[in-house]
Amino acid sequence: MIAIYAELVKKQREFFLAGNTRSLSFRQRQLDLLERLISENEGQILAALKADLGKSEVEGYLTEVGFVLNELRYLRKRLKRLMKPKPVPTPLAYVGSRSRIIPEPYGVVLIISPWNYPFQLTIAPLVGAIAAGNCAVIKPSRNSAHTTALLAELINSAFPSEYVTVVTGEAGGTRAILQEEFDYIFFTGSTGVGKVVMEAAAKHLTPVTLELGGKSPCIVEPDADLKQAAKRIAWGKFLNAGQTCVAPDYMLVHVDAKDELMGEMKKALAGFYGSEPKTSADFGRIINQSHFRRLAGLLAEGTVVYGGETDPDKLYISPTIITDVLPDGQLMQDEIFGPILPVLTYRELPEAVKHINRLPKPLALYLFSRSKDKIEYVLSSTSSGGVCVNDTISHITTKWLPFGGVGASGMGKYHGRATFDTFTHYKSVLLSSTVFDVKQKYPPYKTPLSVVRKLMRFL
């Protein structure tokens, strides 16, 4: 396996160094090809997502296929401008010289993607890698077997392997491919595996983007529109059966808002999925038995006030809300990554902020309040990858807001322009004049220090 990966990376590097990926026309053709590939096989992609995660066609399109197409079209439309070298000012000390910043591709990049949004989180980074002029090796998750098999079939039939290829294989494949030297690594997944990726990258001094996760909190103040808040929280939490890296992982609800909010959330969930979510075409399934058993084991940690039903044969866990949760219980230790929502209460907003700040920095933070002062207080008192006020999830869908984590929730950002930037090295260039020369910079240094201090102001 290692020998195969070594040969693959070698061929991609040769392809890249030959200059094949540099031109605007080449990159545009590849993006056009990728768009056709997605559009012509949309039905197969949605069917694979259904087979892996129980996603409805609408949810599959909204969160995966449509998302990727928007990203692709955004970058293709702006690609010529993004690739253009940018002139920047030159210090007066270098009069006659010119300065510019040149965007250039890294080279051969590795994209490692997870199983929860197996199409979006594979192809969205690939769009950026192609737009920026790189070659790419893609390693999707084995857990999302149907989508991974389809990705391999589609990508490997459309693109030459020395340019873009999907690799699959048995357990240990990710560790094996990480032994190779890449020019950039883009990883989406758990914090634990993220550490493994970063350690492997460090051996080659390879730059990385790590899109991880964490326990994203959701604060609800009593001045919020509780009916709307309940609907938006329920949607964000139970989308993809809770298997979303930016899903609200737990709620911090003001004691004065708890009863009304719980009532509204029950109404919202009944409206979304009916009285029997198991029969709803719009509620997904847990990815596999291992994750099912882990999640089912968490149901006893508190009082179930809604849901709690399970079916191991169908990999089904109903949308579940749990109260009376212990702050140091297992539910509050690791990211839940499933359709279980713990609810904690607080009496004063600083108490909620203190709780959040005791934990590692989350990927997302949600606040429901109509008070500008409270919003500013939370924004200035907490740190997270991103924040969404009076909604959930939606902040990651805008192309003008870079998406990424901080601390334990990741490093680096993408989406929109940031996707191109992530896969691009911005090379600084000074075209120095031969007409003028500053003699004071050469030894022997006879210029008085007082004069040097004045000259330095012109840099």
Q: Where are the alpha helices (DSSP H) in 159-257?
A: 173-177, 191-202, 226-238
| CA nearest neighbour of 386 among 359, 416, 420, 413 | 413
Q: Which residues face 108 on adjacent strands?
A: 135
Would you say the C-alpha torsion 258, 264, 267, 268 has a positive or negative sign?
A: negative
CA atoms within 13 A on the CB side of 114: 19
Q: What angle do CA 388, 394, 400 make, to 5 degrees?
A: 90
In the DSSP assignment, the letter for residue 182 is: -
Whether the CB-CB separation of 141 and 115 falls below 8 Å is answered with yes
Number of Cβ within a 10 Å radius of residue 25: 7
Q: What tokens does 372 get?
A: 């500008």
Residue 344's φ and ψ, nearest 5 degrees, are -115, 155
Q: Which amino acid is residue 428, in one-letter code?
A: S
The separation between CA 186 and the C-alpha centre of its own chain, rounded to angstroms, equals 10
Q: Which of 64, 71, 211, 264 is catalytic?
A: 211
- 304 half-sphere exposure, CB direction, 13 A CA radius: 15
Identify the DSSP state of 312: G
Question: Would residue 7 show up in a list of annotated catalytic residues for this protein?
Answer: no
Q: Which of 135, 218, 245, 388 is catalytic?
A: 245
The secondary element (H helix, E strand) that includes residue 453 is helix 449-456
- Residue indicated by tokens 């279980």: 340
- What is the DSSP-derived secondary structure letter of residue 439? G
Q: Among all chains, which residue has been given the structure tokens 């949600």?
A: 366
Query: What backbone phi and psi angles, to 5 degrees, belong to 101?
Result: -115, 125
Transcribe 315-361 into DSSP letters: TEE--EEEES--TTSGGGTS---SSEEEEEEESSHHHHHHHHHHSPP
Cα dihedral sign for 24, 72, 410, 53? negative
Backbone torsions φ then ψ of 447, nearest 5 degrees: -70, 130
218 is catalytic: no
| 212-223: burial string, b at 16+ Cβ within 10 Å, e else | bbbbbbbbbbee
CA-CA-CA-CA torsion sign (120, 122, 125, 131): negative
Active site residue ranges: 211, 245
